[in-house]
C-alpha cells in the first residue's frame, strides 16, 4: 500500500525523493523494497514496550534503594553485590545505572567531584628573539638498566636556538635554576618579562626554580598536566635529537660521553640544521637576524632561474621563501584557524 501511494503521487508529478521524505522514508529504502519483491511497507508496526520493562513500583524501589543512607554514596557496581549478600535482588547493575542516568543521578555520587576541565595555557606570541623560551628535561640511557642521565635544555621559541643545555646525573630544581641562570649570562640580556614555558614537573615548579625566575624577572608558564602538546617546541627538539643518525643505538657509557655528544649536537643544531619551522634557515642565523637576508637571496636566485626558463613555471610564482614573522605557543582556536587560512593562501 505504501509503494502504491508513492507511485500515485509520483504519477501526479511529485518528485520521488520528496514523496519518500513525506512518508519518513529514504529513497534508498524504497528502492530496496522494490527489488526485494515484497512490494509493500516493510517497517514494523508501532513500537511496543519490552516485556521485561520495570514497572513504576519497581523503578521507584530502585531509586529508593540507591538513595538510601547506606547506599547514597555508592555506585550500582557496589550496591548490587551488597544486596545480593543480603539475599535481595531488585534490578541488574546495568538497569540500575540506566534508571539513575534517566533521573540524572548517575554522576559522581558521594563527595567525589566531577572532573574539572583543564584550561589551556595562555597563548604566547614571539615576534623576535628572547621573548618566549621553552624548556624541558629528557632521559638519556646509561649502561645500567633503570639508571639515566638527565638532559636539561632551553630553547628560544622564535628562533629555535638552543640557548642552554646541560647533562646531569640527577633531576632537581637547583640544577634547573642554574641552567636558567647560565642561559641569562650566555645571552647577555636582561630576561625581565621573558616568558619561560615548561611542563608541570617537579624541577619546573619547585620553590628554588620559581625564586630564580622571580629574581631574573621572568614569567613562568606551565603546560596542563600530562599534555605534551602544550610544550611542542621542546618535544619536537628532543625528537630531532634522538632521531639523529649519530645518536647512540644503545646507551651512553659515561656522563662525560653524554655531555660531549650533547655539546656536539647543540653546535650542529644551532649552526647547521635548516629548520622547517623557520623556512629552512638555521636557528643561529634567525636568532641573530640574518635569516631575512638569506631568504631575500633565495628569492633572487629563484627569480633569476624563472627568468632563464619561464616555461618551467608558467603562470605560477616561484617559491615564496617567506619569513615567519610571528611564532605562536599554544595558540587559541581562532589563531589556529587564521594560521591555516594564511598557509592555504
Q: Residue 130 sits in a domain of what CATH number? A: 3.30.420.10
- Residue 155's pLDDT is what? 95
- Residue 303's pLDDT is what? 93
- Residue 110's pLDDT is what? 64
Prediction pTM value: 0.67
Per-residue DSSP letter, 249: S
The verdict on residue 281 lying in a domain is no
The verdict on residue 43 lying in a domain is no
- Residue 43's pLDDT is what? 64
The verdict on residue 51 lying in a domain is no
Do 221 and 255 fall within a single domain?
Answer: yes
Do 210 and 339 fall within a single domain?
Answer: no
Do 99 and 151 fall within a single domain?
Answer: no
Low-confidence ranges of the chain (pLDDT < 50): none
Do 223 and 309 fall within a single domain?
Answer: no
Give the separation between CA 214 and CA 205, rounded to whole angstroms: 12
- Give the pLDDT confidence of 158-213 residue by residue, as tens digits: 999 999 999 999 988 888 888 888 888 888 888 888 999 888 777 777 788 888 88
Give the separation between CA 78 and CA 85, rounded to whole angstroms: 11
Give the separation between CA 155 and CA 277, rounded to whole angstroms: 14
Do 139 and 258 fall within a single domain?
Answer: yes
- Residue 4's pLDDT is what? 80
- Residue 289's pLDDT is what? 94
The verdict on residue 296 lying in a domain is yes
Quote the domain boundaries for residue 32: 2-36
Specify the residue for cell string 511529485.
14
The verdict on residue 316 lying in a domain is yes
The verdict on residue 58 lying in a domain is no
Do 161 and 98 fall within a single domain?
Answer: no
Domain boundary among 266, 295, 325: 266
Do 14 and 128 fall within a single domain?
Answer: no
Q: What is the four-CA torsion angle of 262, 125, 131, 128, rounded to 10 degrees?
A: 90
- Residue 21's pLDDT is what? 84
Per the structure, the count of domains in the chain is 4
Cα torsion angle, 207, 213, 218, 222, sign: negative
- Residue 343's pLDDT is what? 66
Do 104 and 194 fall within a single domain?
Answer: no
Do 143 and 248 fall within a single domain?
Answer: yes
- Residue 1's pLDDT is what? 66
The verdict on residue 329 lying in a domain is yes
- Residue 39's pLDDT is what? 58
- Residue 322's pLDDT is what? 92
Give the separation between CA 105 and CA 91, rounded to whole angstroms: 16
Give the separation between CA 328 and CA 339, rounded to whole angstroms: 10
Do 30 and 150 fall within a single domain?
Answer: no
Do 200 and 314 fall within a single domain?
Answer: no
Do 302 and 326 fall within a single domain?
Answer: yes
The verdict on residue 218 lying in a domain is yes
Amino acid at each position: 500500500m505504501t509503494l502504491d501511494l508513492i507511485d500515485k503521487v509520483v504519477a501526479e508529478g511529485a518528485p520521488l525523493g520528496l514523496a519518500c521524505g513525506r512518508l519518513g522514508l529514504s529513497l534508498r529504502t524504497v528502492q530496496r523494497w522494490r527489488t526485494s519483491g515484497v512490494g509493500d511497507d516493510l517497517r514494523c508496526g508501532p513500537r511496543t514496550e519490552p516485556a521485561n520493562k520495570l514497572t513504576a513500583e519497581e523503578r521507584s524501589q530502585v531509586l529508593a534503594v540507591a538513595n538510601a543512607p547506606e547506599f547514597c554514596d555508592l555506585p550500582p557496581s557496589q550496591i548490587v553485590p551488597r544486596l545480593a549478600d543480603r539475599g535481595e535482588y531488585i534490578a541488574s547493575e546495568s538497569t540500575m545505572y540506566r534508571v539513575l542516568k534517566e533521573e540524572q543521578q548517575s554522576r559522581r555520587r558521594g563527595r567525589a567531584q566531577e572532573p574539572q576541565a583543564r584550561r589551556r595555557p595562555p597563548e604566547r606570541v614571539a615576534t623576535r628573539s628572547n621573548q618566549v623560551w621553552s624548556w624541558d628535561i629528557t632521559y638519556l640511557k646509561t649502561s645500567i638498566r633503570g639508571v639515566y642521565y638527565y638532559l636539561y635544555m632551553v630553547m628560544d621559541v622564535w628562533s629555535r636556538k638552543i640557548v642552554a643545555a646541560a647533562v646531569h646525573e640527577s633531576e632537581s630544581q637547583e640544577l634547573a635554576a642554574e641552567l636558567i641562570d647560565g642561559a641569562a649570562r650566555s645571552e647577555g640580556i636582561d630576561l625581565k618579562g621573558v616568558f619561560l614555558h615548561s611542563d608541570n614537573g617537579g624541577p619546573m615548579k619547585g620553590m628554588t626554580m620559581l625564586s630564580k625566575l622571580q629574581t631574573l624577572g621572568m614569567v613562568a608558564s606551565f603546560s596542563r598536566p600530562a599534555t605534551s602538546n602544550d610544550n611542542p617546541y621542546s618535544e619536537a627538539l628532543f625528537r630531532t635529537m634522538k632521531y639523529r643518525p649519530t645518536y647512540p643505538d644503545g646507551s651512553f657509557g659515561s656522563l662525560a660521553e653524554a655531555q660531549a655528544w650533547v655539546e656536539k649536537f647543540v653546535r650542529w643544531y644551532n649552526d647547521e640544521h635548516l629548520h622547517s619551522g623557520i623556512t629552512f634557515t638555521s636557528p643561529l642565523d634567525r636568532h641573530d637576524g640574518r635569516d631575512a637576508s638569506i631568504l631575500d637571496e633565495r628569492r633572487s636566485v629563484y627569480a633569476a632561474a624563472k627568468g632563464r626558463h619561464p616555461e618551467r613555471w608558467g603562470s605560477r610564482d616561484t617559491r615564496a621563501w617567506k619569513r615567519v614573522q610571528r611564532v605562536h605557543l599554544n595558540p587559541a582556536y581562532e589563531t589556529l584557524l587564521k594560521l591555516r587560512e594564511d598557509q592555504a593562501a
